[in-house]
Structure 1
């Protein structure tokens, strides 16, 4: 995608969305470190999150430096986003700083392969809600069905992305906010109930996760932009609704 297209698209989307009125000094840390597969969509994900956050009067810092995970630095932030991180990206001391951040009321937002991260850190697995298991081959089409309190909510929307299967179904431990329809593509293994996004209050803080976000093109989808915006608002404590 040409560099000037995303800001124009987001400007069109955000022109219909009321801006928040919270203090402008709230900050978001977007962490994009990878120890395994690295997604080509990371720069687009960062640009999108930056523009969404700025619309909500929050400043964004991007980092791939695990040393930024210390108590003093994380205390500067309202939300920490793991945007397509993979593998073991934090050591034990840095993990402890992240736990302290959440226990102090911080917010977490995980995008796509945030679920393919830190398999040896059980607390993180609980924070995210479920770990990645595998995915069907290539990009495939399905529909995202928003839900609330276990029931379909509103109109489903089309998606073309890499559609994760998870090691466990998180329903029951989290509030599922969207599912995908496995009948529309090949390689789904979770059956009739396939959560793709969810949120929960966790260990003093807030966590929101979406399994979507692999494909750069998805960041041109207005429904996906609204999806990310709602996740950011929930993680920041701006909205009690996370879907």
Structure 2
């Protein structure tokens, strides 16, 4: 009887320790390296403790981008990745992961990643073109029914490196946030490219069902201090939660 009681306690302890889901955070850069990456990792780990999900962080694609390892995770976060970060074999494994029902979360320069991988550009939804200097501007809520959107005011000030994007790469995008270009100066000039803004509809965050899985993207997250903002953190959690579970849309 004593042995059975001990076994029961051990079993109960194991059940109590099981997290809701597992998240892989991937932050390899093959271009610009954002100062905010470590703040982002810290924020996602703290969200994991707050909302009971496990987080594993790596910048080594050889370690995790294969069928066996990816199967351990319900969502993969591309945290300010840049450039060509996966080889052909790793790309194939990630495509199979999404087609099997996995979730993708792209943060900030995840849209400045893998331009020559057409499937990935469709997964992200829009690709980065250029940005002006960091400025304060007005965020506008387009869809308050998505997880993590309920704490945003309909219009609120935020300070960000406002990405200007190219055209939509997918026809199934659902938009969550836009920025009001009349509240900042979107014009910029880079060597070989210019930015003039995107006009009356300038997307900042969106989601979609894609190729059997789920994709969420937010362009917010350039500044390290942004990851300490409670509203942004809740927005990020909502995207992770939906990507991992598919639940929460009203």
TM range (shorter): 0.7 to 0.9
Which residue in the other structure is 1:118 paired with?
114
Cα distance in 2, alignment partners of residues 169 and 100 from structure 1: 23
Measured on the aligned residues, the alpha-carbon RMSD in Å equals: 2.3
Q: Give the SS at the match of 1:127.
A: helix
Which residue in the other structure is 1:79 paired with?
75
Q: Give the SS at the match of 2:98.
A: helix
Deviation at 1:147, TM superposition (A): 1.5
Cα distance in 1, alignment partners of residues 138 and 129 from structure 2: 21
Deviation at 1:237, TM superposition (A): 1.6
**For each residue in 1:80-121, what CA deviation from the matched residue of structure 2 results, as whole angstroms up to 9, or x when unmatched?**
000000000000000000001101111000000000000010
**For each residue in 1:173-223, what CA deviation from the matched residue of structure 2 results, as whole angstroms up to 9, or x when unmatched?**
300011111111112510010110000000111000001100112122222
Which residue in the other structure is 2:164 paired with?
165
Relative distance call for 1:236 and 1:86 in structure 2 (3 A) is same
Q: How many equivalent residue pairs? A: 220
Q: Does 1:140 align with 2:135?
A: yes
Larger radius of gyration, structure 1 or 2?
2
Q: Give the SS at the match of 1:186.
A: coil
Which residue in the other structure is 2:53 paired with?
58
Counterpart of 1:128 (choices 117, 120, 124) is: 124
Deviation at 1:145, TM superposition (A): 1.2
Cα distance in 2, alignment partners of residues 96 and 235 from structure 1: 20
**For each residue in 1:18-74, what CA deviation from the matched residue of structure 2 results, as whole angstroms up to 9, or x when unmatched?**
xxx995162100000000000000000011011112322111000111112000000
TM-score of the superposed pair, with normalisation by structure 1: 0.85
Which residue in the other structure is 1:175 paired with?
174
Deviation at 1:239, TM superposition (A): 2.6
Deviation at 1:149, TM superposition (A): 8.9
Query: In 2, are the aligned partners of 1:177 and 1:197 still within 8 Å (CA)?
Result: yes
Cα distance in 1, alignment partners of residues 171 and 75 from structure 2: 24
Cα distance in 1, alignment partners of residues 95 and 168 from structure 2: 23
Alignment of 1:1-243 (within 5 A): 23-24=18-19, 26-67=21-62, 68-137=64-133, 139-148=134-143, 155-169=154-168, 172-187=171-186, 189-237=197-245, 239-241=247-249
Relative distance call for 1:95 and 1:174 in structure 2 (3 A) is same
Cα distance in 2, alignment partners of residues 215 and 51 from structure 1: 18
TM-score of the superposed pair, with normalisation by structure 2: 0.82
Relative distance call for 1:170 and 1:125 in structure 2 (3 A) is closer
